[in-house]
Structure 1
Amino acid sequence: MTENTQVLVIGGGYSGVMAANRLTRRDDVTVTLINPRPSFVERIRLHQLVGGSHDAVVDYSKVLAGGVRLVVDSVTRIDAVERGVTLAGGGTVGYDYLIYAVGSGSADPSVPGAAEFAYPISSLEEAQRLRPALDAAPGAAAVTVVGAGPSGIETAAELAEQGRTVTLVCGGVLGPYLHPRGRRSVANRLAKLGVTVLDGPGTKVTAVTRDAVRLSGGRELPSAVTIWTAGFGVPDLAARSGLSTDALGRLLTDETLTSVDDVRVVAAGDSAAPSDLPLRMSCQAAMPLGARAADTVLAKIAGEQPSPLNQVFAGQCISLGRRAGIFQFAHRYDVAVGFHIGGRPGARLKEFICAGIVEQLADEAGKPGSYRLHRFSGGAKRRQLLEAERDAAPAVAERTA
């Protein structure tokens, strides 16, 4: 009788759930998912939780395959030699293969006062802490959102649509990913909502106090509530466990998402750095990476050679309140093009995508192996970048010899 293979998935976000569901394709694989929360968090809706239009939570029974064992706990250490993990709540869990899908969170802000007085919103708990602070602030009180990526733009628009007085501090360019045409569309919508956008030189935050935000240009903004959306960080679990990581802490892997240290450890999502050339942190990348990680483990179990990463991107979608949005189209290698869909059609497309993501996870839970997006070609761009890295390595080694 063939013994079951124990596969452990750390992290129950977009990539972890996709991987866990897909692993149930084989009856001789036992899948355990460890996650610190008992419910699935729709991270791409956290700005809606802040604004009160969505709770950003889905019961795992709707998105996780019934055959997956869910352990509500946190992992404090991975022992790759003994093939086991230590749980914060006590005890250990062993594995034959491990998928590292711990995701990302708010970067520790180095700006004086930011950690003490600003509210990050990259996790469910952070967004939930912000809600009472907003509720306690008068309706006309100044709200400052720091960071002009999708999270900052969406949060600023959501709150301004409710009548809040919002300033969006970019620290540089509004929507850095966007094509200039898309950026103008977003700026116009924010202006209609009454959001004051501060971008360009002199808009980096240098300090945060209880009731103000100071900028590098010398300006001080009154701020009853300061929301911090600038930058992402990843948990340091891999580094603490002695596994190789990149400078940000993402697990270093090859192009099959296998750890450079251990063939039994595979990474997925925001916490993976394949070939030290990580993909953009996003749900759009996380789910295909989760599927690819599961396929890599299944191939290893079957004694087959795993397929390399082949990621395709479509663009970036951003909600601009409940009545407008933008879908910024991009080359499949993740560089924005001049075409976008904005306004109400953009809002409908954004909602369609958000709802569709949950449906895709549910579909994979019901019919593991049905998800196919990770098999679409991202083109030759990544291969060219990898070849350029390899060509540059000998030259650097020669100069430093």
Structure 2
Amino acid sequence: MTENTDVIVVGGGYAGVMAANRLTRRGGVKVTLINPRPAFVERIRLHQLVTGSDDALVDYQEVLAGGVGLVVDTVTRIDAAGRRVTLASGGSLDSDYLIYAVGSGSAVPTVPGAAEYAYLIATLEEAQRLQPVLDAAPASAALTVVGAGPTGLETASELAEQGRKVTLVCGEVLGPYLHPRARRSVARRLAKLGVTVLEGPGATVTAVTPDAVELADGRELPGAVTIWTAGFGVPDLAARSGLSTDDLGRLLTDETLTSVDDARVIATGDSAAPSDLPVRMSCQSAMQLGPQAAETVLSRIAGKQPKNFSVGFFGECISLGRRAGVVQLARKNDAVTRAYYEGGRSMATLKEAVCWSTVWQLKQEARRPGQLDLWFKDRQRQKVLRAKAGKAPADAGRPS
């Protein structure tokens, strides 16, 4: 009888679930997914959880393949050499391969007072902590949202649509990813909702107090609740475990998503930094990177050379309340174009379809692993890497 190959997937977000499901395409592979929560979190819906329009949770039984074992716990250390992970509960698990998919969360704010008085929103627990605070705040209370990326835009819009008084503090620019044409469209929608938008050099937060936000130009914005959406960070598990990481803490890998330290450790999603040139942190990239990390493991099990990963982007879809939205189109290499679409119900419906289809893809991968690939890949990455290195990169693969 052939022995099982044990694979542990650390992290049950978009990339982790896709990786775990893809691994089940090969017999003889025992897959264990370790996640601190008993349900899958739709991170792209957390702004809806905060405003009460969705709980942002899906039962793992709906999105995980039947052959995947779920352990609800937190990994506190990875012993790569010993092929073992230590759990917060006090136990440990052994494996032949490990997929590192711990994802990302809120960056720890360094602005004085922000960590103490501002509410973060990048994780389930943060959003759940904020929701009752908003519910308890008077309907007329002034709310301040700091950060004008997708999360900030969607949160500010949802709150304003409910009749809340919202100020959006952008820092330098509103929607930094967006083309100026799409940016103007978003600004018009925010104005229609009554959101006060502050941007430019002076609109940088310098301090947060219990009832106000102070800006670089000396202005003080009184507010009952400050919501902080500026910046993402990653868990420090890899660094604490002695694995090589980039400056942000993402696990350094080659182009096959294999750790530069150990051929049996593979990273995926927001916590991976292939060739120290990571792709944009997003659900889009995680849904593609997850299966490719699994394919690297399956290739090594089969004694084959893993393929280099490839991710392609379509742009960004942003809801602006429940009744409007904007789609910013991009090239497959994530460079934005002039093309965008704005609209009312149609764009809101499209964004809802994007959220729905993401969970649908997880379910399809669980039922038919390896049969679905809806993404167009970026073929320009290798050129970028050669330009970065000043020469053609060496073979990234290593034998297991």
Same fold (TM over 0.5): yes
- 2:327–2:347 contact (8 Å) kept in structure 1: yes
**Aligned residue number for residue 165 of structure 1:** 165
1:146 aligns with 2:146: yes
Cα distance in structure 1, aligned partners of 2:49 and 2:391: 46
Give matches, 1:1-400, under 5 Å: 1-344=1-344, 345-373=346-374, 376-380=376-380, 382-391=381-390
Residues 237-279 of structure 1: CA deviation (Å, up to 9, x unaligned): 0000000000000000000000000000000000000000001
Cα distance in structure 2, aligned partners of 1:342 and 1:352: 16
Q: Which moved more, 1:128-137 or 1:38-47?
A: 128-137
The alpha-carbon deviation at position 371 of structure 1 amounts to 2.8
- 2:6–2:97 contact (8 Å) kept in structure 1: yes
Cα distance in structure 1, aligned partners of 2:139 and 2:58: 30
Residues 361-383 of structure 1: CA deviation (Å, up to 9, x unaligned): 00100111123146x33122x11
**Local SS of the residue matching 1:342:** strand
- 2:46–2:56 contact (8 Å) kept in structure 1: yes
**Aligned residue number for residue 398 of structure 1:** none
The alpha-carbon deviation at position 392 of structure 1 amounts to 8.1
Cα distance in structure 1, aligned partners of 2:186 and 2:14: 27
Cα distance in structure 2, aligned partners of 1:317 and 1:152: 13
- 2:386–2:392 contact (8 Å) kept in structure 1: no
- 1:13–1:41 contact (8 Å) kept in structure 2: yes
Cα distance in structure 1, aligned partners of 2:315 and 2:79: 38
- The alignment-based identity, stated in percent, is 71
The alpha-carbon deviation at position 172 of structure 1 amounts to 1.0
Structure 1 letter corresponding to 2:188: N
Residues 149-187 of structure 1: CA deviation (Å, up to 9, x unaligned): 000000000000000000000011110010111101101
Residues 41-65 of structure 1: CA deviation (Å, up to 9, x unaligned): 0000000001110000000011011
Cα RMSD of the aligned pairs, angstroms, is: 1.2
Cα distance in structure 2, aligned partners of 1:259 and 1:16: 16
Residues 4-28 of structure 1: CA deviation (Å, up to 9, x unaligned): 0000000000000000000000120
**Aligned residue number for residue 396 of structure 2:** none
Cα distance in structure 1, aligned partners of 2:391 and 2:186: 39
- 1:291–1:371 contact (8 Å) kept in structure 2: no
**Aligned residue number for residue 397 of structure 1:** none
Structure 2 letter corresponding to 1:365: A
Structure 2 letter corresponding to 1:335: A
Cα distance in structure 1, aligned partners of 2:359 and 2:143: 31
**Local SS of the residue matching 2:364:** helix
**Local SS of the residue matching 1:31:** strand
Instruction: Give the TM-score of the pair, scaled to structure 2.
Output: 0.97
Cα distance in structure 1, aligned partners of 2:64 and 2:116: 36
Cα distance, 1:20–1:323 mapped onto 2, change above 3 Å: same
Cα distance in structure 1, aligned partners of 2:317 and 2:163: 23
Cα distance in structure 2, aligned partners of 1:201 and 1:266: 41
Structure 1 letter corresponding to 2:353: F
Cα distance in structure 2, aligned partners of 1:317 and 1:372: 20
- 1:288–1:373 contact (8 Å) kept in structure 2: no
